């Protein structure tokens, strides 16, 4: 993980992180995001990182859960979290990815099973992940330029 600036959001069963350098990290999971899933995701972010990770999160309740805060305190030398103001999706570049993903997946034949939806989601996210210029464009909208 060479880039220290990461922004997070959730997409269906997919935890996605994009960077202003055009990088993405993601994880598909079953069920609602909880503290254990978030901590596992953050552990993956810091694994192998050469620099401290600065992670920007929205104010989803789980982002403030006691186990998450404890894990962040124990790993404060490797990761630091900054929270977006409440009710400000326009400041979150992940919302651009969410819209991109929803548009792409809804153009496909409707998924009839969870597995089909997961495959469609992972296929699109992998495709976007291979296009750093596309990911960087998420940071070009005026409200999101703060993170560029």
User: What order do you get walking across the sheet with 79-83 strand by strand?
Assistant: 24-28, 14-19, 5-11, 53-57, 79-83
34 pLDDT higher than 80: yes
Q: pLDDT tens digits for 48-70?
A: 889 999 999 999 999 999 999 99
Structure tokens at 1: 């993980």
Identify whether the C-beta of residue 127 lies closer than 8 Å to the C-beta of residue 24: no
Centre a 10 Å sphere on the Cβ of residue 15 and count the other Cβ atoms it contains. 22
5 pLDDT higher than 60: no
Which one has a higher pLDDT value, 34 or 98? 34
The whole-number pLDDT of residue 14 equals 67
Structure tokens at 46: 């810091």
- Of 140, 117, 139, which is closest to residue 3 (Cα–Cα)? 139
**Cα gap 5→56, rounded to integer Å:** 8
The whole-number pLDDT of residue 9 equals 46
Give the predicted TM-score (pTM) of the model. Answer: 0.81
Question: Phi-psi bin for 87: left (phi > 0), alpha (psi -120 to 50), beta?
Answer: left
Q: pLDDT tens digits for 76-128?
A: 999 999 999 999 989 988 888 888 988 998 898 888 888 888 888 889 999 99
Superfamily of domain covering 5-142: Ribonuclease H-like superfamily/Ribonuclease H (3.30.420.10)
30 pLDDT higher than 70: yes
Most confident of 18-22, 125-129, 143-147: 125-129
**Cα gap 75→70, rounded to integer Å:** 9
Centre a 10 Å sphere on the Cβ of residue 147 and count the other Cβ atoms it contains. 20
**Cα gap 91→102, rounded to integer Å:** 19
The whole-number pLDDT of residue 70 equals 99
Confidence of residue 2 (pLDDT cuts 50, 70, 90): very low
């Amino acid at each position: 993980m060479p880039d220290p600036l990461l922004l997070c959001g959730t997409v269906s069963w997919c935890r996605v992180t994009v960077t202003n350098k055009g990088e993405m990290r993601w994880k598909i999971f079953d069920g609602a995001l909880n503290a254990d899933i978030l901590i596992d995701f953050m552990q993956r972010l810091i694994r192998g990182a050469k620099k401290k990770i600065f992670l920007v999160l929205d104010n989803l309740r789980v982002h403030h859960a006691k186990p998450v805060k404890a894990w962040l305190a124990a790993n404060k030398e490797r990761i630091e979290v900054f929270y977006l103001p409440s009710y400000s999706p326009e400041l979150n570049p992940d919302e651009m990815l969410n819209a991109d993903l929803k548009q792409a997946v809804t153009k496909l034949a409707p998924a009839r099973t969870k597995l089909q939806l997961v495959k469609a989601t992972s296929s699109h996210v992998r495709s976007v992940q291979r296009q750093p210029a596309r990911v960087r464009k998420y940071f070009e909208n005026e409200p999101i330029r703060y993170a560029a």
